[in-house]
Structure 1
Amino acid sequence: MTSIVVTGLGAITPIGGDAAATWAAMLAGTSGAAVLNETWAADLPVRIAAPAAVDPSDVLDRVEARRMDRCGQFALIAAREAWAHTGSPDVDKTRLGVVVASGIGGLITTLSAYDTLRDKGPRRVSPLAIPMLMPNSAAGYVGIELGARAGVHTPVSACASGTEAIAYGTDMIRTGRADIVLAGGTEAAIHALPLAAFAAMKALSSRNDDPSAASRPWDVDRDGFLLGEGAAILVLESAEHAAGRGATAYAEILGAGMSSDAHHIAQPDPVGTGAATAMRLAVENAGLGLGDIAHVNAHATSTPLGDIGEAQAIRTVFGSTADDMCLTGSKSMIGHLLGAAGAVEALAVVLTLHERLVPPTINVDNLDPAIDLDIVTDGPRKLPGGDLAALNNSFGFGGHNIALVIRST
């Protein structure tokens, strides 16, 4: 089986304007939560979120920024960083692919264009509105930027989208369609409508008076997730291709497992059957045993049902071997980036394995007694030497379940 390695990383998140800053903030246990001071947030029941640490308009050229939705801006920034990180190689563009996922797409553009239509009439709607709001526009812009001709794709699987993009990019290389693929996710949905809708579903934390404590996976007092935004892109390539150009391999993508719940459009399976299936398949497809998994970066959104279901699924799959694994929940710091969440968390797993450090889960002041797992909470934890493998879990509305197995190099 073709070995797929990660040779470049890029990100823009609520805790950092690039991958290095994001990683440093994760190790420090920094929260990206903030009170929303925009006028449109004043009457919302939830007025907190985790906005990007850097405004993309401060990074991009003014003209190019105006032609992209905010989610496209995030993707392009992360892709440029990832491509530079891997050495900006001169590659065969017919063998270069792009897979950038988004759970919602150009939502800010959609809402803004509707406001223009309502207030100023149809002739004032921008001709750029459609290409800006398309869910695939972010992937398209990245592909155009790099001249990628092996295929440009956009998985849409709600909160599992970013992880699915990495799995899809891996398959593109393994099936011989590409030698190198930029894969990840992007999302920009911090706006009155999604905040109001998620709040109506009772999905969001309502800790308006204490935003940094709002996202608290596995804590007994968790009350919902914190909406975040940003993007992460990983450069994937065959180990042979990477070695041929002298690229550094930061980790290896071994396998993925996918399943669907067929349970409810927005509620997780309370016993985590589908999640368990995805994890089991990921380990099997990676060619590993259950005891080979040392770490899990969990989906862990900080919702009462979701955290329990995932924990039960982990215990179901791994049994007593789960006692030898440590878990972390990145969303405690970055919030829930929806379609970009899994990509940011995959980036965290790559760096966890490369640097042998597991970032902490913050805000676990009182661990839910139903969570019978080893959660890293008090600062980063050192991992042992030797070959290590980790699991990255992502689950989404619609019953999408995806798990990735990533191994140290």
Structure 2
Amino acid sequence: MPGVDSLRSAPFDAAVTGIGMVTAGGVGTAATWDRVCEAAGTAAREVPGLAGMPVSFGCVVPDFDADALVGRRKAWRLDRSNQLAIAAATEAVADSGLDPASWDGARVGVVLGCGLGGAGSWEKQYDVLRDTGPLKVSPTLIPMLVPNMSAGYVAMEIGARGPNLVTSTACASGSTAVGIARELLRSGACDVVITGGTESCVVPSISTGFSQMGALSERRDDTARASRPFDAGRDGFVLGEGAAVLVLERHADAQARGARVRARVSGYGASADAYNATAPDPEGTGAELALRAALLDAGLAPGDIDHVNAHGTSTPLNDRMEGRLIRRVLGDRPSVTSVKGVLGHSLGAAGAIEAAVTVLAMEQSFVPPTANLDSPDPEIDLDVVAGAGREGEVRAAVSNSFGFGGQNAVLLFTAA
């Protein structure tokens, strides 16, 4: 069989020309960026729908008005995950300067990541079925719950008639989506791809499932300090929701139309641990394949990487594995941060949110701090930014995402 070097294609840059975010940090990219940079603790709160559950708090989007952002006539028939996706996509397209009224929709694709689909709608309609019978179940149940509808509804909103799909690689879904979107541009299948991820499943069944496997933080008495990536006292992640969307174009096309290029997606790597359904390979052997593939794809060496936006879930096993991986492959030079200390873990949307934050860190020459990192784990020997953010040029950065099933995806960004 040919070696990977012989199969390597020519370097390819996808320009990021638009960003939209809706997260526990706030509605809109600016609100999320400010909250992440402030790093004033985890944006967690008691969630009324989780009352009586083993863990009753989570990171939910504050003051999200679906009627105002999506439109009342549409919002009622959409799952919240679809609503978040549309809001983020609308902001991202506007930010890009592209006009859906004038583009060739057949050349515009949509690729979004989503791990669980319309979990909230499914749970709510099951309650209706149980309590009042089948005739009261909403006829919109199926399009509300199937994961592909987030991309479908975004396409309807902006008139994108090109390739349309949702990637589902657990907590790596958002990063996988961005990587696939770049490939659609590289192949010539699309001229523009709207990509990212969405998730909204801070609901009893999902929260309880994670709680039963011991994955969630149980800091009920201090939720602002519950998510603690890389801290010696971490005890699990905080379940979150959100959406982030990037607009990608070929770099030459973006330059030709005079667009603001915020950063470039220059590399992507994916792999599987083939190890365990829920636990990562302790040594990160599979994850290393994805990281090295992203470096090779971009034509960069480990020493070229200035910054790592870590998966950093705040779970004992993931953070330890990722720390070993980063140290082994990239050394101790790159600055490292995890936004999950602030935003919690939004599962299928997490990789997209972190990709967007990585782009902003490069654009602003500012690495946000990791919230709640008071006592660094001595087993994690990295330059993790904590306390306050750090100013400085970021020329190349990677964003790591890992998911159940041993799914790994790494995005490599370079400065515009």
Aligning the two structures, in what range does the TM-score lie when normalised by the shorter sequence?
A: over 0.9
* 2:415 equivalent to 1:404: no
1:230-263, CA deviations, whole angstroms, 9 ceiling, x for partnerless residues? 1000000001221222110000000101110111
Structure 1 CA distance for aligned equivalents of residues 275 and 47 of structure 2 = 38
Structure 1 CA distance for aligned equivalents of residues 189 and 300 of structure 2 = 26
* 2:400 equivalent to 1:388: no
Structure 1 CA distance for aligned equivalents of residues 97 and 261 of structure 2 = 12
Alignment of 1:165-244 (within 5 A): 165-244=177-256
**Which secondary structure does the structure 1 equivalent of 2:345 belong to?**
coil
**Which secondary structure does the structure 2 equivalent of 1:313 belong to?**
helix
Tell me which of 14, 21, 29 is aligned to 1:11.
21
Alignment of 1:364-375 (within 5 A): 364-375=373-384
Is the CA contact (8 Å cut-off) linking 1:13 and 1:229 kept in structure 2?
yes
Structure 2 CA distance for aligned equivalents of residues 42 and 108 of structure 1 = 15
What is the match of residue 8 of structure 2? none
Alignment of 1:270-281 (within 5 A): 270-281=282-293
**Which secondary structure does the structure 2 equivalent of 1:154 belong to?**
strand
1:123 deviates by: 1.1
1:279-334, CA deviations, whole angstroms, 9 ceiling, x for partnerless residues? 1111111110111000000001000011000111112222xxx2211100110000
Alignment of 1:6-405 (within 5 A): 6-38=16-48, 40-57=49-66, 58-89=68-99, 90-318=102-330, 322-384=331-393, 388-405=395-412
**Which secondary structure does the structure 2 equivalent of 1:349 belong to?**
helix
Is the CA contact (8 Å cut-off) linking 1:392 and 1:403 kept in structure 2?
yes
333-342 or 114-123: bigger deviation: 114-123
Structure 2 CA distance for aligned equivalents of residues 80 and 332 of structure 1 = 27
Q: Structure 1: where are the runs of 5+ without partners?
A: none
Structure 2 CA distance for aligned equivalents of residues 192 and 371 of structure 1 = 33
Q: TM-score, normalised by structure 2?
A: 0.95
Q: Which one-letter code corresponds to 1:407 in the other structure? A: T
Structure 2 CA distance for aligned equivalents of residues 56 and 309 of structure 1 = 39
Figure out how many residues of one structure are paired with residues of the other and give that number.
403
Is the CA contact (8 Å cut-off) linking 1:6 and 1:234 kept in structure 2?
yes
What's the C-alpha RMSD, in Å, of the aligned pairs? Answer: 1.2
Structure 1 CA distance for aligned equivalents of residues 361 and 63 of structure 2 = 24
Structure 1 CA distance for aligned equivalents of residues 284 and 13 of structure 2 = 30
1:93 deviates by: 1.1
Q: Which one-letter code corresponds to 1:61 in the other structure? A: G
Q: Which one-letter code corresponds to 1:97 in the other structure? A: G
Is the CA contact (8 Å cut-off) linking 1:56 and 1:70 kept in structure 2?
no
1:135-192, CA deviations, whole angstroms, 9 ceiling, x for partnerless residues? 0111000011111122111000000000000000000000110011010000001011
**Which secondary structure does the structure 2 equivalent of 1:404 belong to?**
strand
1:125 deviates by: 1.1
122-131 or 161-170: bigger deviation: 122-131
Q: Which one-letter code corresponds to 1:360 in the other structure? A: P
Is the CA contact (8 Å cut-off) linking 2:361 and 2:367 kept in structure 1?
yes
**Which secondary structure does the structure 1 equivalent of 2:27 belong to?**
coil
1:44 deviates by: 1.4
251-260 or 41-50: bigger deviation: 41-50
1:349 deviates by: 0.4
1:3 deviates by: 2.5
Q: Runs of 4+ in structure 1 displaced over 3 angstroms?
A: none
1:32 deviates by: 4.7
1:69-100, CA deviations, whole angstroms, 9 ceiling, x for partnerless residues? 00000000000000111113232111100001
Structure 1 CA distance for aligned equivalents of residues 374 and 219 of structure 2 = 15
Q: Which one-letter code corresponds to 1:362 in the other structure? A: A
Structure 1 CA distance for aligned equivalents of residues 391 and 256 of structure 2 = 32
Q: Structure 2: where are the runs of 5+ without partners?
A: 1-10
325-334 or 21-30: bigger deviation: 21-30
Is the CA contact (8 Å cut-off) linking 2:114 and 2:170 kept in structure 1?
yes
